[in-house]
Structure 1
Amino acid sequence: MLVPRFMLKKVAALLALMVVWSSSAPMVESAIGVNWGSLSFHRLKPSTVVDLLKDNKIQKVKLFDADPDSLRALKGSGIQVMVGIPNEMLTLLSSSAAASDLWVRQNISSYMGKGGVDIRYIAVGNEPFLTSYSGQFESYVLPAMQNLQQSLTKVNLAGYVKLVVPCNADAYESSLPSQGAFRPDLMQIMTPLVSFLNSNGSPFVVNIYPFLSLYENSDFPQDYAFFEGTTHAITDGANVYSNAFDGNLDTLVAALSKLGYPQMPIVIGEIGWPTDGAIGADLSAAKVFNQGLINHVLSNKGTPLRPGSPPMDIYLFSLLDEGAKSTLPGNFERHWGIFSFDGQAKYALNLGLGNRLLKNARNVEYLPSRWCVANPSRDLSDVANHMKLACSYADCTTLNYGGSCNGIGMKGNISYAFNSYYQTQMQNSQSCDFDGLGMVTFLDPSVGDCRFVVGVTDTSAASQPYRNWFIVWFLILLGVWVLFMI
């Protein structure tokens, strides 16, 4: 029987893609990855960040959107990628198969193939079941996943790219790990959602933050948050828990077991410890926590309910500090990075990936070594409004209680605020005026652990505004395209 030429072309293309995918088939061993967020006033070039990942032998990265600059930089890198879909896009993707098809074509299949991006997961929303969201995204998650799964099938990627839903640990609850169960208000959603994940070979992705447990509860035993042993171990029948991570993870295991999926693979989508912005958020604690976590996971010890079976993957939160993040949860939100905003390692950390220590970003281009500080010859008694303005556009979180710059005095606070704004404005001379209260200096005003930053020049202007406009314009494009198709 003769085969039409157009069919031969389709078969050939499919075979070529199968060869590419089979050569890098998903592995099942545990691995350490990182979250790469982009909400920064000083955003490094994506190519610089990808080089940083490769130099540190980091083979897995999780993105919070489908930023085209980041995806282009990841082409040919061999790094496995989880692409995120913001919660705000779930409504449209859940209601329109055409919008889902377009999103997959533009953000997934167009980047894949030989020499492309190795996309392994699509994160459908980010913690969409948080109690603080009051259920506004809950009804859209599963319909969006169903549409996206069909869209992946249409481009022959359904067997390779897995859909997941990063959940916060507040999705389940219990007094003891063995009694873990999903929140009652989520049961009608979690039952079909977990079934969907299981039927498509997807893991359950959860974000676990022992730091937040310690930060939000003054009665939480501090040593239980780490991996160095505790005097507050939790006994649960025959099982004893000496750290919050194992206890939290087994609570999820118990919750999944109650739904009939005791062996479902689990991925830790976010976990880490901040280095500034709150009491207990410092370099020493972050190093002890992250190194303890890595050693614990790579030991393959597992947990009492899953001995010898640690999570599939763990994505540290995060790769870089993000100075433009919301501080609503706390000032520490801008200081989760194992690297500072300019890709410089904050502390010694062995990721277990071949390098004993973190390697700094290479070839970072900084602005000139100059800073904006308070003018010592001027009366600074009426500077409150200027500081408020500066800190509304820049990051001043280290000045607050618990921050590394909290004790530098009034003039130091003013100088820090002025300089933070000055650097975000790429050292524009007018941005250091402040009605004559500011002046430019070539002497580094940093004091002890309080670092007065200098901005970078190899930056893309993308930060919070860029990310928001990227989402807005994509939604507009989707809407127009769907209307046209109808």
Structure 2
Amino acid sequence: MARSSRLCVFLHGIIAKVQLLPGGSHVGVCYGMLGNNLPEPSNVVALYHKHQISKMRLYDPNPEALQALQNTGIELIVGVHNQDLQSIASSISIAYIWVQQNIQRFWPAVSFRYIAVGNEVIPGHLAQFALPAVKNIHNVLKSIGLDGQIKVSTSVSTSIMGTSYPPSAGTFSDSSCAYMGPIAQFLAITGGPLLANVHPYFSYVSDPWDIKLDYAIFQSKTFIVLDGPYYYMNLFDAIVDALYAALEKADAPQVPIVVSESGWPSDGGSAANISIAETYVNGLIDHVASNQGTPRRWAWPIEAYVFAMFNENLKPAGVEQHWGLFYPDEQPVLHVPTF
């Protein structure tokens, strides 16, 4: 099939799924910029807007992208660079400057939804700065009356987990719990979500003998994991519920999880091809569109951000360069069929 024809089919499939969601979509797409051949931010935002992708994750406050997002209605997760965490954590004045330059300057024309203060810094040498930076950004927002509209959190990977199987046994690791417990408590007070990057791909390729591919890509027809009263047909739900179990053990059961990344690579490594990637993305969108949550949080609709908008050629060689829904020329990588 010609790539231009595939574009129409791909977008019609995405739109058909998104329009199943009452009150607007719970599906967004991550917009990474680690490529030297990507479209201009204004063209990217136009692509989102044209094809009714109503939510975006932006990894840093790129001013051209923020300018292009004005008055589009696209809801945004915007990130704080990892390298800025220490300075923002150490100074409320620096936090104020960051908010003034990157949020207040564009509000309300840009529909900020969440601020992700750091990406996957826990555990690690920057972990100690995550909560102080989150608090400083939150306090600045509160001082200007925006804390009710924009929630502040940090984005974590599943490396924060010590135990994740079965999901009800989910706990934060010894190296993470000293940071995650206080963060969870802070989010419980402020009403912010925990932003979590959930990638069943890595779980599958690390243990393909015990994890079946159908279970990893939303294709299982039967329950695979039975965990007390909770039954799991897909690995995505099991990972998210392990995170919920860990939050419960941190005395923060009311904190929701927003899946800030989830996708499947289409090339560059084991089990990475277009067919499997299509199936995973299709299954994720269908799952979110069902407007039902995970077995442990059945009544909480899932909010998830597909990773990612484009293949990015400045990432490390291999699967890292092949998570995009689109090529840099804005043609589709994946075919997501209509239904």
Shared fold per TM-score greater than 0.5: yes
**Aligned pair partner of 1:296 in 284, 287, 296:** 287
Is the 2:28–2:56 Cα contact (8 Å) retained in structure 1?
A: yes
CA distance in 2 between counterparts of 1:225 and 1:250 reads: 15
User: Cα deviations across residues 333-371 of structure 1 (Å, max 9, x unaligned)?
Assistant: 011011111111123326xxxxx59xxxxxxxxxxxxxx
Match of residue 202 from structure 1: 192
Is the 1:81–1:119 Cα contact (8 Å) retained in structure 2?
A: yes
User: Cα deviations across residues 201-247 of structure 1 (Å, max 9, x unaligned)?
Assistant: 10111111111112223423222211111678122123322211111
Match of residue 236 from structure 1: 227
The residue type paired with residue 61 of structure 2 is: A
Structure 2, unmatched stretches of 5+, are 1-21
The residue type paired with residue 116 of structure 2 is: A
**Aligned pair partner of 2:133 in 144, 147, 156:** 144
Is the 1:223–1:231 Cα contact (8 Å) retained in structure 2?
A: no
**Aligned pair partner of 2:120 in 127, 131, 139:** 127
CA distance in 2 between counterparts of 1:139 and 1:230 reads: 43
* The 10-residue stretch of structure 1 (193-202 or 169-178) with the greater mean CA deviation from structure 2: 169-178
Match of residue 74 from structure 1: 69
SS at match of 1:268: strand
Paired residues for 1:133-212 under 5 Å = 135-172=124-161, 173-212=163-202
Match of residue 64 from structure 1: 59
Q: Residue 301 and residue 156 in structure 1: after superposition, are their counterparts in 2 closer, same or farther (change >3 A)?
A: closer
The residue type paired with residue 212 of structure 1 is: F
Is the 2:134–2:154 Cα contact (8 Å) retained in structure 1?
A: no
CA distance in 2 between counterparts of 1:301 and 1:59 reads: 19
Question: CA offset at residue 184 of structure 1?
Answer: 2.1
Question: CA offset at residue 97 of structure 1?
Answer: 1.3
Matched, 1:99 2:94: yes
Question: CA offset at residue 74 of structure 1?
Answer: 0.7
CA distance in 2 between counterparts of 1:108 and 1:63 reads: 13
Match of residue 252 from structure 2: 261
The residue type paired with residue 348 of structure 1 is: H
**Aligned pair partner of 1:342 in 311, 322, 329:** 329
Work out the percentage of aligned pairs sharing the same amino acid: 37
The residue type paired with residue 255 of structure 1 is: A
SS at match of 1:108: helix
Question: CA offset at residue 319 of structure 1?
Answer: 0.8
CA distance in 2 between counterparts of 1:297 and 1:152 reads: 30
The residue type paired with residue 334 of structure 2 is: Y
**Aligned pair partner of 2:111 in 100, 118, 121:** 118
Match of residue 281 from structure 1: 272
The residue type paired with residue 291 of structure 1 is: N
Q: Residue 232 and residue 298 in structure 1: after superposition, are their counterparts in 2 closer, same or farther (change >3 A)?
A: closer
SS at match of 2:266: coil
Question: CA offset at residue 188 of structure 1?
Answer: 2.1
Greater length-normalized contact order (CA 8 Å, ≥ 6 residues apart): 2
The residue type paired with residue 341 of structure 1 is: P
Match of residue 236 from structure 2: 245
The residue type paired with residue 321 of structure 1 is: N
Is the 1:81–1:120 Cα contact (8 Å) retained in structure 2?
A: yes
User: Cα deviations across residues 81-115 of structure 1 (Å, max 9, x unaligned)?
Assistant: 111011111011111111111111011100113xx
Q: Residue 267 and residue 93 in structure 1: after superposition, are their counterparts in 2 closer, same or farther (change >3 A)?
A: same
What TM-score results when the alignment is normalised by the length of structure 1? Answer: 0.62
Paired residues for 1:393-412 under 5 Å = none
User: Cα deviations across residues 349-408 of structure 1 (Å, max 9, x unaligned)?
Assistant: 26xxxxx59xxxxxxxxxxxxxxxxxxxxxxxxxxxxxxxxxxxxxxxxxxxxxxxxxxx
Paired residues for 1:396-475 under 5 Å = none
User: Cα deviations across residues 437-478 of structure 1 (Å, max 9, x unaligned)?
Assistant: xxxxxxxxxxxxxxxxxxxxxxxxxxxxxxxxxxxxxxxxxx
Is the 1:197–1:203 Cα contact (8 Å) retained in structure 2?
A: yes
SS at match of 1:280: coil
The residue type paired with residue 33 of structure 2 is: S
CA distance in 1 between counterparts of 2:221 and 2:315 reads: 33
Is the 2:187–2:255 Cα contact (8 Å) retained in structure 1?
A: no
Question: CA offset at residue 262 of structure 1?
Answer: 2.2
Matched, 1:222 2:213: yes
Q: Residue 176 and residue 300 in structure 1: after superposition, are their counterparts in 2 closer, same or farther (change >3 A)?
A: same
CA distance in 2 between counterparts of 1:239 and 1:32 reads: 25
SS at match of 1:286: helix
CA RMSD of aligned residues (A): 1.9
SS at match of 1:61: strand
CA distance in 2 between counterparts of 1:257 and 1:29 reads: 29
SS at match of 1:83: strand
CA distance in 1 between counterparts of 2:65 and 2:334 reads: 26
CA distance in 2 between counterparts of 1:178 and 1:272 reads: 24
SS at match of 2:119: coil
The residue type paired with residue 256 of structure 2 is: P
Question: CA offset at residue 278 of structure 1?
Answer: 1.2
The residue type paired with residue 155 of structure 1 is: I
CA distance in 2 between counterparts of 1:303 and 1:31 reads: 14
